[in-house]
Amino acid sequence: MEPFTCITGKAASLDEDNIDTDVIYPARFLTITAREGLGAYAFADRGFRLNDAPILVAGANFGCGSSREQAVWALLGCGVRCIIAPGFGEIFAGNCLRNGVLPVVLGDDAVAGLHRAAQAGDRFTVDLHQCTIQAGDTPPLAFAIPEPQRQALLNGWDETAAILARDGDAIAAFEARQRQAQPWLWR
């Protein structure tokens, strides 16, 4: 996946709670098997347009409902790399992280301010190195993300690459020992 370090751009505001994955990516499109091009179907039944904004400010419990990964793929297809909300559906947040989208959880007041900034057309900067979000001329807001997920996003690692980065030396040592002890497995 593409590394996520720092993004700057406009933000779209969807100030509504409990937007489920069927709203993000309607079920009738689940028969499409290709990942590419799914952005055309994002919010197809709502008329909501992201307008090439790389950041989405959303309401509480964003991405709740079914575990369809296509919802994240559709948002990625629209160029979204960061979603800021008071909370996310648990599986949706995990799917975001596995696909290179940063889900940022902030308090209600902070998110309300970011909705206003997005609606005003302010430019946002999301810096994963510093774990900050800045909208317009306001002071940066800090956010938290577990370090393993932060490193995976910064480096563009999928789950396999993250395991190899963390445990690559131990895996190589095991393989070397196994080649010695059981060479018939390596022919």
Does 67 score more than 90 pLDDT?
no
| Long-range contacts formed by 173-179: CB under 8 A, 24+ apart | none
Chain segment 77-109, per-residue pLDDT in tens = 999 999 999 999 999 999 999 999 999 999 999
Q: Residues of CATH 3.20.19.10 domain(s) within the chain?
A: 6-145
Confidence of residue 170 (pLDDT cuts 50, 70, 90): very high
pTM across the whole model = 0.91
pLDDT reading at 162 higher than 90: no
Q: How high is the mean pLDDT of the chain?
A: 95
| 43, 16 contact by CB (below 8 A) | no
Checking phi first, is residue 156 left (phi over 0); if not, alpha (psi -120 to 50) or beta?
A: left
The mean per-residue pLDDT over the stretch 35-55 comes to 93
The CATH homologous superfamily of the domain defined by 6-145: Aconitase, domain 4 (3.20.19.10)
User: 67-94 burial, b for 16+ CB within 10 Å, e for fewer?
Assistant: ebbbbbbbbbbbbbbbbbbbbbbebbbb
